[in-house]
Amino acid sequence: MLREFHSIQPSIRPVKVLSYVLRLAAAFLIAPLISPLVLIVLRSFVEEFRAQDYVVLAVAYGFFAYEAALLLGLPAYVLFMLLRFRHVAWFGVGGAMIGYIHSIAFLADRASFKNPFSVRDELLAAALSAIAFRFVLGDSREMQMGIKKVIDDAWRVIYHRR
């Protein structure tokens, strides 16, 4: 049994795992910054801003974007990984759904928050943020297949199945 356990070849190399984890962390750090940027650009077409207004909007919506990424984006990413949804369009649709859920659930009290953006603007910003997430993450097809193989191997070792 011990000899068989040592003869199992790792399905993915540690360097690939580290690279994937770093890209995943970068994607979760960079992609939420797209939403405030898109919202600021959309708002600048409607009215003129002062420099301090840009900073206030970027910080306020940056906070909401990271909140949505943590509370809704992380479970969505895990679901996409399990279902093997890798196409950019799926990420765009998922981001739009996250934007819709977030705008309804967390920004429902729009009167007290004085939200100058429509739900449509927030859907666009969230979809573009999710697409940016996908591009920062890169093609993770082999990593997802490798992770699935590692999980399957772990279950076999735990339950002593062949």
2 occurs within a structural domain: no
Per-residue pLDDT at 30: 93
Residue scoring higher pLDDT (10 or 48): 48
160 occurs within a structural domain: no
76 occurs within a structural domain: yes
97 occurs within a structural domain: yes
Residue type, 33: L
47 occurs within a structural domain: yes
Residue scoring higher pLDDT (12 or 98): 98
- Dihedral sign, CA of 9, 87, 131, 77? negative
* pLDDT tens, residue by residue, 131-140: 999 988 887 5
Domain count, the chain: 1
The stretch 55-73 carries a mean pLDDT of: 87
Euclidean distance between CA atoms 70 and 74, whole angstroms: 6
Note the pTM of the prediction, 2 decimals. Answer: 0.72
Residue scoring higher pLDDT (56 or 159): 56
* pLDDT tens, residue by residue, 111-126: 555 566 677 888 899 9
161 occurs within a structural domain: no
Among the ranges given (11-20, 45-54, 104-113, 117-126), the one the predictor scored with the smallest mean pLDDT: 104-113
Q: Which two tokens stand for residue 28?
A: 């979760």
77 occurs within a structural domain: yes
Provide the residue count of the chain. 162
Range of the domain at 93: 14-151
Q: pLDDT band at residue 24, thresholds of 50, 70 and 90?
A: confident
111 occurs within a structural domain: yes
